[in-house]
Amino acid sequence: MKIKHSLFTRRRFLNSMIGGWITAMGAAFLAPIAKFVFLPNKEPDEILLPKSDYENMEPNTVKLFSWGAKPGLLKMNDDRSYTAFVAVCTHLDCNVSYLPDQRKFFCACHDGWYDENGINIAGPPPTPVRQLNVALDGEHFIITKNKGNE
Amino acid sequence: MKPDFKFNSVIFLLALSCFLLLFCPFIYAQQAKPAETEIQDMNEDTNAAKPGQKNIKDKIALYVFLAWVWIAIFVSIYFLRLKIIEVDRLSGYGFYQKLKK
Amino acid sequence: MNIRKWFDDRLGINEISAFMTKKEIPQHKHTILYYTGSSILVFFFIQILTGILLAFYYKPTLELANESVAYIVNDVPLGWIIRSIHSWAATFMIALVFIHLLSIWITKAYRNPREMTWISGVLLLVISLAFGFTGYLLPWDELSLAATKVGTDIPRAIPIVGAWVTRLLRGGVDVTGETLTRLFTLHICVLPLFILMLLALHVYLIQKHGSSLPLDIEKKNISVKSIPFWPNFIYREAIIWLLLLGSLLTIAALFPHHLGSPADLMAPAPEGVKPEWYFLFLFQTLKIFPANILFIHGETIAVLLIGLMGVLFFCLPMIDNKPAEKKGKIITYAAYVFILYAVIMTVWSLL
């Protein structure tokens, strides 16, 4: 199909080609810089805790461990089983503490409360504290991510 | 229609000299390396960080990337040359003076 | 509502763009030298960008400096190329500064009314060299520590104020962690402030006075053909920038900068201590002076001589007040003598 007039001028075609090319080069240049600036996520997939460090825990107490850069709390429940939490408030990322006498997790920043299983019960937190899977393997506790609540 | 001064030869010479500047010392260094580095390694700190690529796969990836960079540069120079020809022609007609008025 | 008009009413942008279309660059056999100035700016912006990126991960303390650079080089994605670009762009930028300076000297572009442009330019050179010097210590490896010890010791040779200057640079009598923090502050805060102010002055003066014509062409009194700065000259400059950037990237990728192990303040100086290449000719000059001339330290005389040369250099436009005559020709030859001297001294120091 022949058209009487060309759809755009030579000038416009040339300028669009150049503009598109420069954009492509700019994107190719910015991508590695973005990679440099945004470091990959540093949360571990799995950590091993030596059992000896966590041996003499009482029921209804917690002990601190490092989950990457975040604090983790290993809690011994009343039935002597263990639960692990990422001890970070789901509201605005403050570190939470466990109050054994009240059987609640407490976030001091904005008065957020969670029950002994990490479920949010009062205050601004929108979701429960993140739980991690705990497995016992001879010498170690193996703490892994819970795929459900990543 | 072509740019006034010896455009092609200047650009060609520049590109050629850049190319020679970069790859010849590299080739030379490759030949000179084996004997020297062994002696150096003994005095060299083992704690030192060794930048660059460790295996041949990464090295090839780097060369491919550099090839793309130079292709991109030469394509850009080609576009710029077209632009220069156009802009020289237009300024010769007084196109840009007319815009000001 | 036209957005362009909104900004123009408040900022006066149209005046700037009108000036840019009027600005012209003369075309003659030395036109290629006009490209050196903007090329320096390109590398300067690269230094700012890569410097900011490096400063994201660099830790300027005695304990962590070397470790953080090793972290950047080994662990941060593409950290090694950012660091390599930063160190190679410094070399490229200072090389271009020297070429730019020599071209101004030889074509006598500092003639009336461009004396202030020259003066601001010499100060820019000093600050660029200071950038190189302060940056060299930051990886805190053996070679850079030794080079900094020597470099900060040199001002001590200046009579009366020397010891104070050395103490100011070092943050104490010796090179310590304080020196590192101090030079880091100079490198990312103080020197950038000064260079930006001087650059603003330098670029403004260039716009005000326009491009100068070399003396031999001006003497002929013919009207020289000019091309508009925007867009004709800018597009030509863009080609040069692209080639320079490509060269920088290739060299940085193929010859990444080495990082030694952390410096030990108590260890003896390693072999082969030398400053960056742009200081080598000064370094060799100092080396060739004997320990004592009559009753004065050789080093003091060398430093004072270099200082005197620096002052003469600074006042060059005022000294060269008759550029067309014999005195002017001698000053042009002095440029070639300087080039020869610098090259010979540099090569000698590497042997």
Would you give per-residue pLDDT tens digits along chain C (351 residues)? 788 889 889 998 888 888 887 888 888 888 888 899 999 999 999 999 999 999 999 999 999 999 999 999 988 888 999 999 999 999 999 999 999 999 999 888 888 889 999 999 999 999 999 999 999 989 998 888 988 888 888 888 888 888 888 999 898 888 888 999 999 999 999 999 999 999 999 999 999 998 888 877 777 777 788 888 888 899 999 999 999 999 999 999 999 888 888 888 888 888 878 888 888 888 888 888 887 777 777 888 888 888 899 999 899 998 888 877 888 888 888 899 999 999 999 888 888
Asked if A148 reaches chain C (Cβ–Cβ under 8 Å), the answer is no
The interface residues of chain C toward chain A in range 58-87, judged by CB-CB distance below 8 A, are 76-79, 81-82
Q: How many percent of chain A have pLDDT more than 90?
A: 31
With CA atoms as reference, report the closest residue to C77 among B18, A26, A3, A34.
A34
Q: Give the distance from residue C66's alpha carbon to the nearest chain B alpha carbon, in angstroms.
A: 9
Residue A24 φ/ψ, nearest 5 degrees: -60, -45
**pLDDT number for residue C199:** 96
Domain A46-149 is of which CATH architecture?
Answer: 3-layer Sandwich (2.102)
CATH number, residue C251: 1.20.810.10
Which of B79, B80, B99 to probe by mutation at the A interface, max A CB count within 10 Å?
B79
**With contacts defined as CB-CB under 8 Å, which chain A residues touch C79?**
36
* Residue ranges making up the domain that contains B12: 7-100
Which chain A residue's Cα is nearest to B79?
A: A18
With CA atoms as reference, report the closest residue to C26 among C221, C228, C240.
C228
**Residue B1 domain flag:** no
Asked if A28 reaches chain C (Cβ–Cβ under 8 Å), the answer is no
Long-range contacts of A60-66 (CB under 8 A, 24+ apart): A60/A100, A60/A103, A60/A116, A61/A98, A61/A100, A62/A98, A62/A100, A65/A143
**Residue C155 domain flag:** yes
Counted domains in chain C:
1
* Residue ranges making up the domain that contains C65: 29-216+226-259
Asked if B76 reaches chain A (Cβ–Cβ under 8 Å), the answer is yes
List Cβ neighbours of C119 (8 Å cut-off, separation of 6 or more): C314, C317
Which of A25, A36, A42 to probe by mutation at the C interface, max C CB count within 10 Å?
A36
**Residue B2 domain flag:** no
Is the pLDDT at B23 greater than 70, yes or no?
A: no
**pLDDT number for residue C214:** 82
**Residue C276 domain flag:** no
**Residue C324 domain flag:** no
Domain boundaries, chain A: 46-149
Q: Give the distance from residue C110's alpha carbon to the nearest chain B alpha carbon, in angstroms.
A: 26
Rounded to 5°, angle at Cα A81 from A76 and A87: 45
* Secondary element (H or E) of residue C229: none
In terms of Cβ atoms closer than 10 Å to its own Cβ (0-12, 13-18, 19+), residue C1 is exposed
Which residue bears the tokens 């260890």?
C267
- Reported confidence tier of residue B40, pLDDT bands at 50, 70, 90: very low
Are C77 and A39 an interchain contact pair (Cβ–Cβ within 8 Å)? yes
**With contacts defined as CB-CB under 8 Å, which chain C residues touch A35?**
77-78
**Residue B54 domain flag:** yes
Are A28 and B72 an interchain contact pair (Cβ–Cβ within 8 Å)? yes
Question: Roughly how many angstroms between the first and final C-alpha of chain C, as a whole number?
Answer: 69
Which of C25, C81, C250, C258 to probe by mutation at the B interface, max B CB count within 10 Å?
C250
Counted domains in chain B:
1
With CA atoms as reference, report the closest residue to B18 among C237, C246, C89, C95.
C246
**Residue B66 domain flag:** yes
